[in-house]
Amino acid sequence: MLIVLSMTCLTILGHLKNTGGFIMKQVGIIGLGIMGAPMAANLVKAGFEVFGYDVSVHAIEKAKASGVTIVDSAQKVGERTQWVITMLPNTSIVEDAIFGHDGLIHSLPAGSTVIDESSITPVASRNIGARLEEKQINFLDAPVSGGEPGAISGELAIMVGGDEAVFAQAKPIFDAIGGTTTLVGGIGAGTTAKLANQVMVNLNIAAMSEALVLAAKSGIDIDKMYQAIRSGLAGSNVLDAKVPLILDRNFEPGGKISINMKDLTNVMATAHDLDVPMPLSSSLLEIFHTLSANGHINEDHGAIVKYFENLANVTVSRKPGAK
């Protein structure tokens, strides 16, 4: 009798969890890289029990150290929780994690929710959402902005597409990893907002880089110029995030060129589908391809400056002895 009662209680708790009750406070993350690992760590700090999966041994060890319980497949993640975040490099990997041989689709019950925080196309997001809906599984496309620093600090800007009620249920998860979370619209709206974000961020870096190279070629102190303009109209989060790193010649990736090149490729594909000319974005995509061909593919997108440095035969750096 006691066993029957216990099983009944577990069933009720599981149902509450499926409908957003967060009784068990369990969350899965597939993809424990530059962004996924700190997001998982922040979920652990917020009191969630986090189950993670990644193909990288290094990523797994780092996640373990922050308190993440590691499982050996995406399917196993779905066996442990009904709330799963995917943070992966591209559409094909996202689709494989969800629908592949060892994918989530084989273990997630009806009422579960998949939150894709990868940067893919709106068309891909809508297709994934439709396929999950057939299994009565909820889907939110929720890409993020803020790079590795934002992921570490838990201050990511999160752009969400999906059902309002599902978004409301998922809010405690978003609050643990983000500073601001906005429901932009239906499925696909989050990824559309992220593409627009990537256009603005990367073109901002490109314009900043061109200006820095002009100033460096003229021989002025770049750090003093940066301090002079950062509080004016040219000031921005991008300027403050990237100029100090460029001056230190630090191109360790917070947002890899490879990822941003993929995002700009998605921008152009979406723009062509919508018949929207994007001459500046198309030029920047070619700059990314040039940087890739010259061996900079795994550097931070602040390395856009190297393209302009090469054209002008100058290096943007601090004056000797300056800090």
The candidate with the shortest Cα–Cα distance to 28, out of 62, 75, 93, is: 75
Query: 22 CB contacts (<8 Å, ≥6 apart)?
Result: 172
Which stretches of 142-177 are assigned E, i.e. beta strand?
144-145, 156-161
Structure token pair of residue 247: 């001056």
Count of C-beta atoms within a 10 Å radius of residue 119? 27
Give catalytic status of residue 17 as yes or no.
Answer: no
* Cα–Cα distance, 216 to 213 (Å, whole number): 5
Residue 12, amino acid = I
Residue 273: DSSP 8-state:
H
- What is the distance in angstroms between the CA of the first residue and the CA of the last residue of the chain? 73
Query: Could you tell me whether strands 156-161 and 144-145 are parallel, antiparallel, or unpaired per DSSP bridges?
Result: antiparallel
Selected catalytic residue, list 17, 194, 256, 306: 194
Residue 218 makes CB contacts below 8 A (sequence gap 6+) with: none
Tell which residue, 46, 89, 19, has the closest CA to residue 256.
Answer: 89
Asked whether 108 and 81 are in contact (CB, 8 A), the reply is no
Backbone φ and ψ for 3, nearest 5 degrees, come out as -65, -45
Active site residues: 194
